[in-house]
Amino acid sequence: MKGKIILKWISNCISTLFIVLLVCVVFIVISSRAAGGEASLFGYQLKTVLSGSMEPEMQVGSVILVQLADENDRFKSGDVITFQTKDAILVTHRIIGVENDGQRFITQGDNNNGPDVEPVLAQNIVGKYSGWTVPYLGYAFHYANTKQGAILLLFIPGLLFLGHAIFTIWRTLRLIEVPKRSNPKGTID
């Protein structure tokens, strides 16, 4: 009897885990698609690190949390910012110099030998690095933003959840049929 209670508890935990995983993946994929590639929640965005310019603090393939900038933000030397280049590429580097009363910034990657060629204009700053990094998760996020990744990350958790639901229903039906098998001759007690 105690074993059945433990199995039921494990089954409930697995079901809950599948539901939570499916809801999280659906939220990430749909919000990423709706936002044009980057999900935003409570003024923060997750960004994937694609180069080693900020190593060792930000490893390639990491996910970083960036607090979105607004017009009232003031940035100073030492801040790590995410900005858009004139080629519409997002870059995260450290401010090493401030010019024109905070309207232009000289930036440099921590792992680079010299400053970036172009100064960053204040209006091109997307946000400020919050200091939160998760190594290797960026590979999954980057893949989730592809068409194949979105399909796979929605399909697999859904398929696992469906398989678990079918197994649970089958097990329940088997338990219902057990009393019928216990009376083999069909006699009425």
* Strand partners of residue 94: 80, 108
Tokens of 8: 């039921």
Residues 6+ apart with CB under 8 A from 31: 39, 40, 41
Out of 15, 32, 40, 51, which one is annotated catalytic?
51
- For the question of residue 53 being annotated catalytic, the response is no
Exposed e or buried b for every residue in 154-175, given b needs 16+ CB within 10 A? beebeeebeebeeeeeeeeeee
120 and 75 Cβ atoms separated by less than 8 Å = no
**CA gap 155, 143 in Å, rounded:** 14
Catalytic residue ranges: 51
